[in-house]
Amino acid sequence: MFVIFFSIKWSRTRIYYEKEIPTLKGLNGSFSGIHNGVLILAGGTNFPNKAPWDGGEKEWYSDIYVLEKKENQTIWYDKLSVSLPRALANGVSINTNQGLLCFGGDNKKGVFNTVYLLKWNENTKEVEIESLPPMPIPLSNMGGAVVDDIVYLIGGQQEKDNVSTNNFLSFNVNSSIVRPKYSWKKHQDFPFKSRIQSVVVGQSNGHQECLYVISGLSYNPNHSRPYDMLYDVYQFNPFNEQWSQKANVPFNNTPSLSGGYLAAAPSIKKGDAHVLVFGGAGGPNQHLSKRMEIWSKLKDKSTLKFVLPNDSNKITLTSPGSPVCFPSRGSPRHH
């Protein structure tokens, strides 16, 4: 696994590759985000002995790693005294000023409803873990984003390898007139096709901040075709709690689809009118071997150039397959 730092400028993006995360093998589905100026990476899965197509068995982890950058030097803290209370992956992580929120997830024993707040103590160089009120239901592989200090969770699975759902939950990060801090609300179900691994992000609709649900995968193991790749887009307006459908994701050469399939991709809002989506499933290269070949070629290049809106933010990505992305400063963002 490797870490990428993006420096966004007016017309180009420079990519810097940092030291690889100090694990024997890469991690997928980890919780990840920023607190007190460091990157926190927690949990995750991999196939330690053999690849899945060779019969390898998946393992889950509870380890926590921290990346700190000081004076152009990268420091990994991998001997921390704490770890997650259980091995966990495939949940949702959200940056807040209080710490990194980690929602749900799964391991080989099942799906969980736990919520943890991970905080970096600059003095002790340790991660502190606080347990918060659990979700009303267990969930993994859901999408999530924050809008005006409220975290929204969409879809997911309530049981391992089971059907995708239409769950729609919200969690108050701070106190408000109508809701206390760290309180849950179960909304009416997401009124469209059930899904997992959607791209979910908050952004303005020109008048106020809204929630956007983009693409994802609808799954039912009992159907002859269990996987349904989606390319639809929806907006939720928190002011009137109304859903509306938007234009589909444009065609991105995903085989057998007329629209553009995206899943398990990190995303952030950009300015007042754009959303950046990085990688994920979709496009012409659906086979893992081809996608890994692309990442290998990408890693050999020191600079990539493409047009982006002007901004001085920096973004960090961790590993292919790990849905993590965040700005280095500013308000909380989706991962």
Give residue 16's pLDDT: 62
Residue whose token pair is 């030097």: 73
Domain count, the chain: 2
Tell me whether residue 306 is in a domain.
no
In the block, residue with structure tokens 């609709």: 205
Task: Tell me, yes or no, whether 156 and 279 share the same domain.
Answer: yes
Neighbours of 215 (CB within 10 A): 30
Q: Which of 79, 92, 73, 105 is nearest to 33 (CA)?
A: 92
Cβ atoms of 248 and 231 within 8 Å: the answer is: yes
Cβ-proximal residues to 295 (8 Å cutoff; 6+ apart), any chain: 320
User: Of the ranges 5-9, 48-52, 80-84, which is most confident?
Assistant: 80-84
Last residue of a domain, one of 134, 158, 181: 134
Same domain, 129 and 143: no
Q: Taking CA 248 as the corner, what is the angle to CA 243 and CA 254, rounded to the nearest 5 degrees?
A: 140
pLDDT at 43 over 90: yes
Identify the band that residue 25 occupies on the pLDDT scale cut at 50, 70 and 90: confident
Q: Which of 40, 199, 186 is nearest to 126 (CA)?
A: 40
Q: Which of 48-57, 292-301, 313-322, 325-334 has the highest mean pLDDT?
A: 48-57
Average pLDDT over residues 166-175: 96
Q: Tell how strand 59-70 and strand 38-46 pair up.
A: antiparallel
Does residue 142 carry a pLDDT above 90? yes
Tokens of 21: 């995360």
Percentage above 90 pLDDT, the chain: 59
The mean pLDDT of 85-102, rounded to a whole number, is 97
Q: Which residues of 6-16 are buried (b: 16+ CB within 10 A; e: fewer)?
A: bebeeeeeebe
| Pair 172, 194: CB distance under 8 Å | no
Categorize the per-residue pLDDT at 108 as very low, low, confident or very high, splitting at 50, 70 and 90. very high
Q: Are residues 173 and 233 in the same domain?
A: yes
Structure tokens given for 107: 């391991």
CA distance 176 to 87: 33
Dist CA 282 CA 301 (whole Å)? 22
pLDDT tens track for 239-278: 999 999 999 988 888 877 888 888 888 888 888 888 888 8
d(CA 328, CA 188): 34
In this structure, is residue 324 part of a structural domain? Answer: no
The CATH number of the domain where 80 resides is what?
2.120.10.80
**β-pair partners for 25:** none
Asked if residue 189 belongs to a domain, the reply is: yes
Domain membership of residue 259 as a residue range: 139-300
Query: At residue 170, does pLDDT exceed 60?
Result: yes
Q: Are residues 90 and 182 in the same domain?
A: no
Other CB atoms closer than 10 Å to residue 190's CB: what's the count? 20
